[in-house]
Structure 1
Amino acid sequence: MADRFTDILRQQNKETWDKAVSHRFIRELFDGSLNDAVMAGYLVQDYRFLDSFLMLLGSAVTSADTLASRLRLARFIGEVAGDENTYFLRAFEELGVSEEQREQVPDTEPSAAFTALFREAAETCEYAAILAVLLVAEGLYLDWAMNAPEPLPKSFVHADWITLHDYPGFHELVEFLRDELDRVGPAQRELVEDFFTRTVAIELAFFDASYDHPLEGTNR
């Protein structure tokens, strides 16, 4: 059986992908040794581009070519706006990160790159391009989260960030994205490869940047 199109995309980016899913940040997240300031800075930056990510998902709903696809993507929007948003707010409170800090900390270069990429993909109104970005954004996180050891770290800030990216519904979401990109991607291969490769590179840079921009909470 021939490789799936999404398998080929990942293989083309194997070196960068593997560096991301085995990053120091992930290793320290798993064993609970991740510095609070590093985690706080990382989460502030991740939360910073939530607006652009929701815009990307909205464009995915608009550009999808079947009702079933639109319904699944619409449910995902609800998940991002619900459980994931709640996690961020709880984590910020636990880490002592104030709303003022969240607003005033400047974007890191990878964070700004993600915001620009999400908006660029959304503005193409090309379902395949949007799927390429979404699959990396979700599939790469599933890949590292599945390697988490048992038991999970004691802190919910660490443990819940892992479980948010490794539960049955999330597995189903990533498989849906793969199926969709396998279906529509080959017809726009060059476009898909470009967005997929750029997204993987920014994911790795985002982990790297977390150590360069730690954020001390107000209660630290």
Structure 2
Amino acid sequence: MSNRITELLRNQVGDVWLRIVNHPFVTELFNGSLPLEKFRYYIVQDYNYLITLTRCQALIASKLENPAAMRRVLELALADVTTELENYNRLLNSLGLSIDDVVKTRPSPTNIAYMNFLLTTCALGSPYEGLVAILPCYWTYLEIAKYHADKLSKNPVKVYRDWASVYLTPEYASIVDGLRAIIDEASDYLMRDFNRLLSIFRQASTYEYLFWDMAYRQEQWVF
């Protein structure tokens, strides 16, 4: 049995992750049949989500006692607010959207619930609870890209190919591996709270599924 706690957590949520990689939004995006308006909706919602994710990383870093781990989390946050958001700025332009469109859009009910879950966990929990909460976001995107990689060469929609290709790069895999490593380095210490961490990991994974489903349905507020 592996002593890497991230692998143990992953093995316990296979049912959720299988539903994620096979969600219609994901499969249609990778084969190019996803309606563009659904992708536009997703991008606007995800931009708002990324702002919250960066805040969560700052909260996590402020609690870490290991300077090396703190630096790695802060570097991750810096990448999100520079490279990641800059890529999204270019993506918004290619979709005929602007930052004003993002700012004016009210995050959906599911998005708000997910962001509040992350903020609460990262603000009130331990730094490792926070890391476990944000891990499915990074890791599932890597798994999705690998699972559907063979579809990209035949995908007729350039913006979908460009978006998906990012998650197949060695650089992105390194980000996921680095985040996992911070958690795995404390595996012996964290195993005493495994059930608590598993609950957080499953909840975050479930929210990842719900985020795709929200985007596919283009979820709106009732009033």
AA aligned to 1:194 is: S
Taking the TM superposition and a 5 Å limit, the aligned residue runs for 1:78-97 are 78-97=78-97
The answer on whether the counterparts of 2:89 and 2:99 sit within 8 Å (CA) in structure 1 is: no
Q: Can you list the C-alpha shifts for 1:121-150, whole angstroms capped at 9, x where unaligned?
A: 221251211111121110111111123225
Match of 2:49 in 1: 49
**Match of 2:86, SS?**
helix
The answer on whether the counterparts of 2:54 and 2:77 sit within 8 Å (CA) in structure 1 is: yes
Taking the TM superposition and a 5 Å limit, the aligned residue runs for 1:99-138 are 99-138=99-138
The answer on whether the counterparts of 2:56 and 2:118 sit within 8 Å (CA) in structure 1 is: yes
Bigger mean CA deviation after superposition, 197-206 or 101-110: 101-110
Residue 173 (str. 1) matches residue 178 (str. 2): no
1: distance between equivalents of 2:216 and 2:64?
A: 37
Structure 2: tracts of 5 or more residues without a match? none
Q: Can you list the C-alpha shifts for 1:86-127, whole angstroms capped at 9, x where unaligned?
A: 221122222222444323333222201121012112212512
**Match of 2:195, SS?**
helix
- TM-fit CA distance, 1:152: 6.6
Structure 1: tracts of 5 or more residues without a match? 216-220
- Name the structure with the higher helix share: 2
CA RMSD between the two structures: 2.1
AA aligned to 1:172 is: S
Taking the TM superposition and a 5 Å limit, the aligned residue runs for 1:165-204 are 165-184=167-186, 185-204=190-209
Q: How many pairs are equivalent?
A: 215
Q: Can you list the C-alpha shifts for 1:46-102, whole angstroms capped at 9, x where unaligned?
A: 111222111111122222232221222222122211221122112222222244432
**Match of 1:160, SS?**
helix
Distance 1:90 1:214, change over 3 A: farther
2: distance between equivalents of 1:29 and 1:43?
A: 12
- TM-fit CA distance, 1:191: 2.8
